[in-house]
Amino acid sequence: MFSMDRRTRRPSLLACIGALLAAASIGLSAYASHGVSDPLAQQHLNMAALYAFAHGAVLVAFGPRASTFFAQLGLCVLLLGTLLFAGSLAGNALWQWPTRFAPIGGSTLMLGWVLVAVDALRR
């Protein structure tokens, strides 16, 4: 990443969004620890932060290197799953939204990882 000539590097939207997810996860975790007293809301925020941070880091690491269709599709599906899963949990904790999108997000995350695995086998 740091040794490449600047002219040969391309911006990576997936990496940028992944970094923003990771940053938001730090805020969610801090808010869960210091701004929320309800144990279930704390648990939901911490779980959302964990998934957002982990998948944000994956997007930062793999986003710039995703050159095949399956790699890009897999990472986009991971992003969608993370937003649905973590967003549903955070929305429930912060605004009492129903968590009906969490199972869809979890299934989407699994599909995203399967697509990443397919890409790994196709190389």
The predicted-structure confidence for 65-118, as pLDDT tens digits, reads as follows 999 999 999 999 999 999 999 999 999 999 999 999 999 999 999 999 999 999
Under the banding of pLDDT at 50, 70 and 90, the label for residue 2 is: very low
Segment 53-66 shows an average pLDDT of: 96
Q: Is pTM, for the whole model, over 0.95?
A: no
Give the mean pLDDT of 29-37: 96
Q: Which helix (H) or strand (E) holds 30?
A: helix 13-34
Residues across the chain: 123
Q: Which residues of 39-59 are buried (b: 16+ CB within 10 A; e: fewer)?
A: eebbebbbbbbebbbebbebb
Could you state, in order of their start, the residue ranges of all structural domains in the chain? 13-122
**What's residue 1's pLDDT?**
43
